[in-house]
Amino acid sequence: MANQDFLNEINKRRTFAIISHPDAGKTTITEKVLLFGNALQRAGTVKGKKSGQHAKSDWMEMEKERGISVTTSVMQFPYADCLVNLLDTPGHEDFSEDTYRTLTAVDSCLMVIDAAKGVEARTIKLMDVTRLRDTPIITFMNKLDRDTRDPIDLLDEVESVLNIKCAPITWPIGMGKEFKGVYHLLRDETILYATGQGHTIQEKRVIKGLDNPELDTAIGDYAEELRDMLELVKGASHDFNLDEFIAGELTPVFFGTAMGNFGVDHMLDGLVEWAPTPQGRETDQGKVEAKDEKFSGFVFKIQANMDPKHRDRIAFCRIVSGKYQKGMKMHQSRIGKDVRISDALTFLAGDRELLDEAYAGDIIGLHNHGSIQIGDTFTSGEKFRFAGIPNFAPELFKRIRLRDPLKQKQLLKGLIQLSEEGAVQVFRPLQNNDLIVGAVGVLQFDVVVARLKGEYNVDAMYEHINVATARWIYGKDERKVDEFRRKAEANLALDGGDNLTYIAPTMVNLSLAQERYPDIEFHQTREH
Ligand code: GDP
């Protein structure tokens, strides 16, 4: 039996990330969440990511200008009786494979939707990724202080486009200049909105009971309208159901304004009450549960040069089970080596700090001098390896070429190392000597050229190449795979880890190949 203090530590943890389309309000909501977590005195100090031009020659400069830092990668704060870990998902131009992979390291997600715009493209993509693990989703409809779309339409759109049932937990009263507040369906109370208090925790004005005459005094005709509306809403939507939420089939929906700091606390209350405690993960030798007392974890992200003074790299490790203790010995499964770790980092808002202990659900930062790769498993001696930390098929491709042709070897070495770090993916066609770089976000291309120069002393440039997408090739029947390899050689390449990949010039080409070779599996993700 695990001891009670240990179990309490695990049970109070909630680890989540925010998924949203750019400009829906992720940064603003993060600030307010930290404000509630007392991690910030006043909201408004999370570093912005919207810079103008970045100096393409220097990756560290880029990082400085874009305000990316370790402090915004993982944020830990207390809320209610819980300890919440919020993992940052790079959004705007720094959108990358890291964004996708971070979603494999959380136990739930907050989906933020701009209520004036509804479901947008990036949100659809990110929801697809959360489906790999059926991650529970909480929804926040943001910007109710503006004229938004009809709330019922918004729920319909989420249900039909994202294929998830909606259970409204709060319901908005008015919108834009007439935004009065929300009615909480489960608590049967109306919480009134006051403008101009976005930077502080608001003193709440709450009116208990839908039939309370105080409500009519407070919001006038809106009270009657609300009562009628709720009849309709209750008929047309779903009741909240915890099992369906945990299975990723139903999302509780909250309304509010992140900028006005209204509604964010309702959402947080829901998160700590319903979102799962740290979840176990599958390994090649069965499932590891969070409450197993032996330490284990996996690396889902590697960030380079985060501290210009040290020029180091940090591997972000999600603890799956047990407890990290300063000075403990860890076993790195892939290379079969033991390492003593006394300088793991934690990420309490503010600065990086050395920490003494951390538990399942937490993220720790390990100093990486080149021996850690994405997907690496750390244990307290066991030899298993975690499954389910994928590479995602890139969506953007360029051919990379040297300015100095004598450095081909360094270029390849650099690209392969950078692909092991998850900075980019590299493909080598079977039939020619091209090197194709694939990425999920545009900025990755600049990062790679800057790092090749800085770390490998290689001057490289890109050329356009006609590639629409890539798929990893699997097949149960080896003869069929060999045959495919011969027949489709012109479209095949090896990735950084020597895995066979189909490179499709167009999406049509890909579907034709899939039709033509029914025994071949074309995968959009590849497990490490
Ligand atoms: P991100 O790109 O998702 O991180 O979005 P931001 O948090 O940077 O917000 C994008 C823009 O929307 C900024 O100008 C915010 O000030 C604004 N914004 C965020 N939340 C609200 C809100 O509740 N109401 C209004 N009117 N604007 C908001």
Report how far ligand 1's centroid is from the alpha carbon of 269 (Å): 22
Report how far ligand 1's centroid is from the alpha carbon of 24 (Å): 6
| Whole-number Cα distances in Å, 42 to 171, 172, 198 | 27, 26, 9
pLDDT at 216 over 90: yes
What integer pLDDT is reported at residue 64 of this predicted model?
53
The mean per-residue pLDDT over the stretch 452-469 comes to 93
Report how far ligand 1's centroid is from the alpha carbon of 162 (Å): 22
The mean per-residue pLDDT over the stretch 263-277 comes to 97
- In contact, 322 and 292? CB cutoff 8 Å: yes
ipTM score for this prediction: 0.99
Ligand 1 atom at minimal distance to the Cα of residue 20: 3
Task: Determine which of 55-69, 102-116, 195-209, 355-369 has the lowest per-residue pLDDT on average.
Answer: 55-69
pLDDT at 127 over 50: yes
Distance separating alpha carbons of residues 181 and 200, to the nearest angstrom: 17
329 is in an annotated binding site: no
- In contact, 415 and 435? CB cutoff 8 Å: yes
The mean per-residue pLDDT over the stretch 426-445 comes to 93
pLDDT digit string (tens) for 136-170? 999 999 999 999 999 999 999 999 999 999 999 99
pLDDT at 114 over 70: yes
What integer pLDDT is reported at residue 41 of this predicted model?
45
Q: Which of 23, 68, 202 to mutate to test the pocket of ligand 1 (most atoms within 8 A of CB)?
A: 23
Q: For residue 323, what are its two tokens?
A: 């407890």
Distance separating alpha carbons of residues 322 and 402, to the nearest angstrom: 47
Report how far ligand 1's centroid is from the alpha carbon of 153 (Å): 21
Give the residue whose CA is nearest to atom 19 of ligand 1: 25
Structure confidence at residue 77 as a pLDDT band (50, 70, 90): confident
Q: What percent of the chain has pLDDT over 90?
A: 70
What integer pLDDT is reported at residue 59 of this predicted model?
43
What integer pLDDT is reported at residue 344 of this predicted model?
84
Residues framing ligand 1 (Cβ under 6 A): 20, 22-28, 91, 142-143, 145-146, 257-260
- In contact, 148 and 177? CB cutoff 8 Å: no
Q: What is the mean pLDDT of the chain?
A: 88
pLDDT digit string (tens) for 288-305? 999 999 999 999 998 876
- In contact, 469 and 507? CB cutoff 8 Å: yes
268 is in an annotated binding site: no
Angle at 64 between CA 60 and CA 70, to 5 degrees: 90
Residue 174 backbone zone (phi > 0: left; psi -120 to 50: alpha; other: beta): left
For residue 525, which phi and psi values (nearest 5 degrees)?
Answer: -130, 155
**Residue 511, strand partner residues:** none
25 is in an annotated binding site: yes
pLDDT at 346 over 80: no
The mean per-residue pLDDT over the stretch 105-116 comes to 98
What integer pLDDT is reported at residue 352 of this predicted model?
45
26 is in an annotated binding site: yes
pLDDT at 44 over 50: no
Distance separating alpha carbons of residues 116 and 407, to the nearest angstrom: 52
Helix then strand count (H, E) for the chain reads 15, 33
The mean per-residue pLDDT over the stretch 91-107 comes to 89
pTM metric for this prediction: 0.90
Ligand 1 atom at minimal distance to the Cα of residue 92: 2
Beta strands per DSSP E along 236-290 = 250-255, 281-283, 286-288
| Whole-number Cα distances in Å, 339 to 344, 345, 364, 372 | 12, 16, 15, 12
Higher pLDDT residue, 200 or 294? 294
Give the residue whose CA is nearest to atom 15 of ligand 1: 25
What integer pLDDT is reported at residue 313 of this predicted model?
80
What integer pLDDT is reported at residue 347 of this predicted model?
65
Instruction: Establish how many alpha carbons lie within 13 A of residue 302's alpha carbon, considering only the half-sphere containing its beta carbon.
Output: 23
What integer pLDDT is reported at residue 68 of this predicted model?
47
**CA 422 to mean position of chain CA atoms:** 14
Report how far ligand 1's centroid is from the alpha carbon of 9 (Å): 34
439 is in an annotated binding site: no
Report how far ligand 1's centroid is from the alpha carbon of 3 (Å): 44
Q: For residue 321, what are its two tokens?
A: 């089970």
The mean per-residue pLDDT over the stretch 206-225 comes to 95
pLDDT at 61 over 70: no
Residue 81 backbone zone (phi > 0: left; psi -120 to 50: alpha; other: beta): alpha
pLDDT digit string (tens) for 480-519? 999 999 999 999 999 998 999 999 999 999 999 999 999 9
Q: Which of 28, 72, 266 to mutate to test the pocket of ligand 1 (most atoms within 8 A of CB)?
A: 28
22 is in an annotated binding site: yes
Other C-beta atoms closer than 10 Å to the C-beta of 308 total 11
Three-class DSSP category at 374: coil
| Contact residues for 187 (Cβ-Cβ < 8 A; gap 6+) | none
pLDDT at 94 over 80: no
Give the residue whose CA is nearest to atom 14 of ligand 1: 23
SS3 string, 512-524, reads HHHHHCCCCEEEC
Distance separating alpha carbons of residues 157 and 51, to the nearest angstrom: 33
pLDDT at 439 over 60: yes
The mean per-residue pLDDT over the stretch 448-461 comes to 91
Higher pLDDT residue, 348 or 19? 19
The mean per-residue pLDDT over the stretch 463-476 comes to 96
142 is in an annotated binding site: yes
The mean per-residue pLDDT over the stretch 102-116 comes to 97
Residue appearing with tokens 């990425």: 439
Q: For residue 527, what are its two tokens?
A: 């497990």
- In contact, 434 and 399? CB cutoff 8 Å: yes
Report how far ligand 1's centroid is from the alpha carbon of 77 (Å): 22
Beta strands per DSSP E along 69-160 = 74-79, 82-87, 108-114, 137-142
pLDDT at 220 over 60: yes
Three-class DSSP category at 145: coil
